[in-house]
Structures are given as C-alpha cells and as structure tokens.
Amino acid sequence: MLKRLNVQHLSQGMYLHEFCGSWLAHPFWRSRFLIKSAEELAKLHSGTIQEVWIDVRKGADVPADVECLVYDPDTATFIDPPNTRSARAERPRSAHGAHRSSMDEELQRAASLCQRAHPAISQLFTQARDARGIDIHPVYRLVEDITDSIERNPSALTSLVRLKEADQYTYLHCLAVCALMAALARRLGLDDHSVRKAALAGLLHDLGKASICPEILNKPGPLDDYEFAIMRTHSAKGWQMLQSMEIDPAVRDACLYHHEKIDGTGYPHQLAGESIPLLARMTAICDVYDAVTSNRPYKRGWPPAEAIRRMAQWSRTHLDHKLFEAFVQTVGIYPVGSLVRLHSHLLAVVIEPSEVSLLAPRIKVFYAIKTQRRLTPYIVDLAALTCDERIATHENPDDWPFDDLESLWRAHAPSEQPVTA
C-alpha cells in the first residue's frame, strides 16, 4: 500500500517511494530508499518538496491520526480516508509514472514536444559552442517532459523522433537518444530517478559536437581519416564541458564513453566489457540505433526492423548483449514504422508494439501484393487470440513505390476500427 503525506509527518523507518515534485527539488540521487538516519530525515524536512509517497509494505506505517491519501498498486485504485476527498484533484501520476495514453494521443503530444525541444537543445549547443555558461535548467525541464511522454506511451516519441530534417539532425538526434534511453531504462526496471538520469545522459551525450567545425559536422558525405579523427574528439570535449556543471558523474561518463565497444576496440580509452559504465553501454545502443535509422544527406537510414537485425550481429562484440536484448523488447523486433509482409501476401505498416509478443504488433494493412493494388487501410491486432494472420518478413520501403508510410503509422482515421483476422 502506498500513502501520500506531508514530509513533516515522515519518520525514520519509513520507506520513501516517490517525491511529489520535480526531481531537481530534492537533494537525493535516489528516489526510493528506507529513511535510516536523522540526517536523511532532516534533509527531507528542510527541503522544498512538500509531499511524498511512502510504501508501507517496505517500511513503517503512518500514525492513525495523520491525514493521507492511500493508493493500492495491486488493484490500481485510490482509497480515500476521511477528509481527503479534495486530494483527488491533485493526484500524482500512478506509482509507475504518468497515466497510460493511446498511441494517437501521445503522438500528438510528442509532436508538440519535438517543436518545443528543438530551440531548447539548439540553445544548449550554442551556449556550449560559445563557451558561455550553460543554463542547464531548461534541459532538466525537457528531460521531465520526455520521461513523462515515455511513461504515458513509450512508443510514440521514440518513433516520431526517428524522422528528422537534415539541418536539424544533431539536435533531434540528441532528443531521440534521450527518449530511447528513458524507454530502455524503464524496460530495465530502473527507479524513476535513474530513468531521468539515463534520459539526461542521452540528451547530453553529443554535447561535445558543439566544438566540431560545421564543415566537418555537417559534411554531406563520409568523413576522411583526418576529419574522423577530429570528430572522435567530441566525446572527451563533451565530458570536459560537463565538468563545470553539477551533474551526476555517471551522466558525464556516458558522454565520454558512449563510443567504447564491448570488445575494447572503441574510443577514447579502449575500455572493454563491464569496465564501460552502464549508462555508457546503454547510450551506445540508443545512439547507434537512431543513427542508422535516420536519413542523412549521403545515406538513407535503414528500416527499423533491418536496423535491429544488423545490430543483433554486433551485439556480441560492439554492444552489450543483455542490454541489447532489453532494447529489442523496448522498440520491438518490428518497431513502429516497419513495413512488413504478411503470410497472406498483404503489406502492412507497424503502428504499435504489442504488450504480449514481440512478433505480434498492431499493424495497418494497406496493400495486396498479388493484385498489386492499394486497399482501404484497416488495423489488425496480431496478438488477438482470434487472429490467424502472421508476419512473414520485414520489407525495405525503398523496394516499393510508397511515399506515404509515415502518414499511415502516424495517424489513424476515426473510421478505422481494429480487426482480429
């Protein structure tokens, strides 16, 4: 049972489950812990956070005369003790984060978030490039918004940020890696604070590219050896930029080591295996996935399903294999936007992963291969018990004359109803 109460009613022996407020407003890097000492209690009483959730299954309960809001995570219901009905209006997110939203709803929110994020990340890079003091607070607020979106629906933002304009690549790449890091951390079961820390690492991982000259950074073609040597300095330069900020060392290390490889052939220090910090190993996976699925002036991105297939081949040498398995569970074997061929000789685009099976996402069928004709799009839930349709393989969109795949998975017409077969 979880209970929400004023921090002044906290006592030693209680298990703190979640802060009701910004993660910047408290002095603890952990968001869940047993209150063991008088010093911890004093910090809680003197901080700016006014209310918290405690878990009475893991620590001491609240005295009977203390007013609080009670939440039962087993039944996902609130239990209102006397005189706490008004607290319903201020209910926080559920014990696991923001309320779940549909793919359509979250895609709309994610589109708005991307518009707000671009100028914020652009300003961050400008400040870093000009060697001015970096205002990190807009970045923290952006991380809050991104992790909230991932909690509501982990597929919407991670799918949308794969679509980038060439002149916005560096900024939107950081946004994409941030979203993927939050989703991966969530899949790994990390606590709320660690999810935000992972997202922050993703957002800042390429900050050192602010010091790379635009001619190299935006070159519309492969880099030569000299240019690549310059580009390789960005991880160390980013780490140096973050040294002057009050940021967790693990976030700085993710910036420095996200190009290290499991077999020790990466840079800058040729670290290997678990000597590479966890956040850096996570960032490496998210960084590579977004890079290879994004269109660049000199190279079209791989289809999402093809990227997963190829990355699986690298996961024993370049990437952490266990973390990569968790990443696949995060984005799916057939990520949103994948073009797939069905055993019934129909083509469909993946619109949402399944909570049940990596092989059975929700899809939108729109083309008959045998008759070579477009169909009125309709949605099929491959995970439905009555569905006997299956995916045969993924297809490369470049092999087909379709220019509207993005619109197919980004929006569902109101008249379209899911079917099961």
**pLDDT tens digit string along 271-307?**
999 999 999 999 999 999 999 999 887 788 899 999 9
C-alpha span between 150 and 112 (Å, rounded)? 14
* β-bridge partners, 19: 52
| 365-407 pLDDT, tens digit each | 999 999 999 999 999 999 888 899 999 999 999 999 998 888 8
**CA dihedral angle for residue 158, residue 164, residue 168, residue 170, rounded to 10 degrees:** 50
Report the mean per-residue pLDDT for the chain: 85
51-55 vs 15-19, strand pairing mode: antiparallel
Contact 208, 147 (CB under 8 A): no
Residue 29, pLDDT > 60, answer no
C-alpha span between 53 and 370 (Å, rounded)? 58
How many Cβ atoms sit within 10 Å of the Cβ of residue 225?
6
Residue 414, pLDDT > 50, answer no
C-alpha span between 40 and 260 (Å, rounded)? 37
C-alpha span between 74 and 367 (Å, rounded)? 43
Task: Read off the pTM.
Answer: 0.73
Structure tokens given for 283: 């960032």
Distances in Å between the Cα of 268 and the Cα atoms of 260, 292, 342, 417 are 7, 21, 44, 52
Contact 255, 202 (CB under 8 A): no
Look at residue 280 in the predicted model and tell me its pLDDT: 97
pLDDT above 90 as % of the chain? 52
